[in-house]
Amino acid sequence: MKVFVLEIIEEFDELTIYGEVVGVFSTQEGLDKAIKTLEENGVADYSYQEIEMDKLVSNISDEEVNEMLHDLVKQDHLDLLVGEDGEFYFRLTDKGKELFGEE
């Protein structure tokens, strides 16, 4: 069985964005209704993924992800930030924007 995971994209500051999951749907119709509701309420930045239930989405471990992020920080592609909420956030540096083709 597949599900659709819907997230809105929010801006932390002018250079940092993150996604917040706002729904999980078992049908395309449910997803479409939710997207319509978001758009009617002025939410333009969203994304969704179709994910197979009861299977790993990725075979990359948390440790490997942390190592990749650490390397990008060391290479000056990302800035590491700590938000007021105590959570860690990342934003692209100018060098990172060039590498990833961001404006």
Q: What is the pLDDT of residues 56-70, one digit of tens each?
A: 666 666 777 777 788
Residue 31 pLDDT exceeds 90: yes
The predicted-structure confidence for 1-11, as pLDDT tens digits, reads as follows 788 888 887 76
pLDDT of residue 97: 79
Rounded to whole angstroms, the Cα distance separating 46 from 19 reads 8
Q: Specify whether the backbone of 56 is left (phi greater than 0), alpha (psi in -120 to 50) or beta.
A: beta
Backbone angles phi, psi at 30, to 5 degrees: -65, -40
CA–centroid distance for 103 within its chain = 18
Residue 80 has pLDDT above 90, yes or no: no
Residue 103 scores a pLDDT above 60 = no
